[in-house]
Structures are given as structure tokens and as C-alpha cells.
Amino acid sequence: MQPRQPRPAASTPRDEPSGRAFGGTRCSAARWERAPGPTPTPRRAGAVAAAVAVLSLTAPAFAQPARPRSPADVPFLGVYTHMMASASIGDSLRFNNPFRLANQLGSTGESLSRTPVYANLAGAVAWGNPDGWQHGASLQWARALAGLPQHVVTPSYVLVQGGWRPWLAWGRAGLPIILNPDWGVGGEAAVGGAWLMTAGLGLQAELVGNVFYGAATWDKGVTTIPMLSLQVGVLADHEVLP
């Protein structure tokens, strides 16, 4: 039986390998540990989550090519409206005078004659191309300033050219309605123009042709009275842009 060998003595901290490196720092393998990093806070975690969500939503949009823009994508801005109002003074030539009215210019009662001077108020509204043709309607009221009291109201279709500013041009076609002294309806066609001194105020002139049907005489059942009128005055112009 062999004698028991003596048990080696336990190593002490002094027996652990040690050394100095990098400025005297102990680099023991047992003590070499990584310094702990910053602990994530709830605020920082929320910001990161929000950034990830935004990127996930916008990434497909950047990845897809932009599609062509169609007219349906353009918003509707409104309707261009052109409004005009005028006040003028007019005089007319009558090419048939079956009732021997005053102011005849020829040698007989049925020859050329003048009508009394009249005042005219008008308003019109049109829609269309601001720099081109515009379609609309107008309403005129005329009143004789001498002789028998007479009032005529004329609704008309109007065609306006607004691309020649500071000039305006228009044409009308309407039905003049005589209110007194005797009721009647005729036909009317007119052309006119205006020069705008400012953006909303100008001078205007209009040449008007009318045909009226009068009462019967001893030799005619229905009388026809053609007339040509010239009226000049001021015009107020207003545009409503879309």
C-alpha cells in the first residue's frame, strides 16, 4: 500500500496571473468585462417605432412610378362670369311713316322721319372664354323723352368678344316688346362696342335695327315700320374670375 500523496495547496489571489498593459490597467481574463450600454428609454423606443412606421408607409409610394395626371385630377375652380351695364341716349330713323307722325324728313308723310330722342338702360351677363367669345343674355329698357309716352322692353341673346381689351365688341338679337301706348312685338338686331377707360368703366355705342308691326290703316291691314337707331353712353364692366 502506497503512502498518500500530499494534496496541493489551493492557489491564492497572489498566484493568479496578472500583468499591466495599456497604461497599467489590469487585464486579468477573469476581470475583462464589457462595459454595459445605455438602457433604452420608453421615449426613445417610441421614436424608433414611429420612424419605422413612416418608412413602411412611404416606401411603396417612392417605389412606384408617378402616373400621368388626368383632367379629372384638376380641381374645378369655378365659372367665369362677365357682367355689363350701360346707360345711353338714342335717336332713330323711321323708314315708313304710315301714321303721319311728327319729324318727317321727306316730302310726303310716308317718307323718312325721325323718332323722339329716347333713354336706354341695359344689363347683360355672359359666360365663356375670358379672352374670346362669350354667350349670354341681355335686357334693355327704353323710354321716349318727348312726344307720346312710350316704353319698350327688349330681352336679347348676346355674343361678346372679350379678347380685344381695352375694346369690347358684341352683337345682339332680341324681341322688342312695346308696352304703350299700344302693345306690340317686333324684331331687333344690334352690334356695339365699348372702349374701357379704366378696368371697369368705358364709353359705348350701339347700332340697332328694328322692325315693328303697327296697327292697320285705311289701305293696309298690318303696317310694317323698319327703324335704324344709334345710341351712345357709358358702360360699366365687371368680371368674376374663377
DSSP single-letter state for residue 32: -
pLDDT at 183: 85
* Average pLDDT over every residue of 9-13: 50
- Tell me which of 26 and 124 has the higher pLDDT: 124
User: Looking at the domain assignment, is residue 14 inside a domain?
Assistant: no
Confidence of residue 109 (pLDDT cuts 50, 70, 90): low
- How far is CA 181 from each of CA 120, 147, 184, rounded to the nearest angstrom? 18, 11, 9
Domain hosting 122: range is 81-240
User: Looking at the domain assignment, is residue 139 inside a domain?
Assistant: yes
User: Looking at the domain assignment, is residue 127 inside a domain?
Assistant: yes
Check if the beta carbon of residue 181 is closer than 8 Å to that of residue 148. yes
- Each residue of 135-165: b (16+ CB within 10 Å) or e? ebebebebebeeeeebebebebebbbbbeee
pLDDT digits (tens, 9 = 90+) for 206-227: 999 999 887 655 566 567 889 9
- Which amino acid is present at 46? G
Check if the beta carbon of residue 194 is closer than 8 Å to that of residue 168. yes
Q: Which residue in 164, 208, 159, 166 sits closest to 187, CA to CA?
A: 208
pLDDT digits (tens, 9 = 90+) for 14-39: 444 444 444 444 444 444 455 555 55
CATH number at residue 153: 2.40.160.20
> What phi and psi values does residue 223 have, to the nearest 5 degrees?
-100, 140
pLDDT at 103: 62
Does position 234 have pLDDT exceeding 70, yes or no? yes
User: Looking at the domain assignment, is residue 228 inside a domain?
Assistant: yes
* Average pLDDT over every residue of 70-89: 82
The proportion of the chain whose per-residue pLDDT surpasses 90, expressed as a percent, equals: 44
User: Looking at the domain assignment, is residue 172 inside a domain?
Assistant: yes
Q: Where are the beta strands (DSSP E) in 72-132?
A: 81-94, 113-114, 118-128
User: Looking at the domain assignment, is residue 66 inside a domain?
Assistant: no
User: Looking at the domain assignment, is residue 148 inside a domain?
Assistant: yes
User: Looking at the domain assignment, is residue 45 inside a domain?
Assistant: no
Number of domains making up the chain: 1
Task: Give the three cell numbers for residue 59.
Answer: 416606401
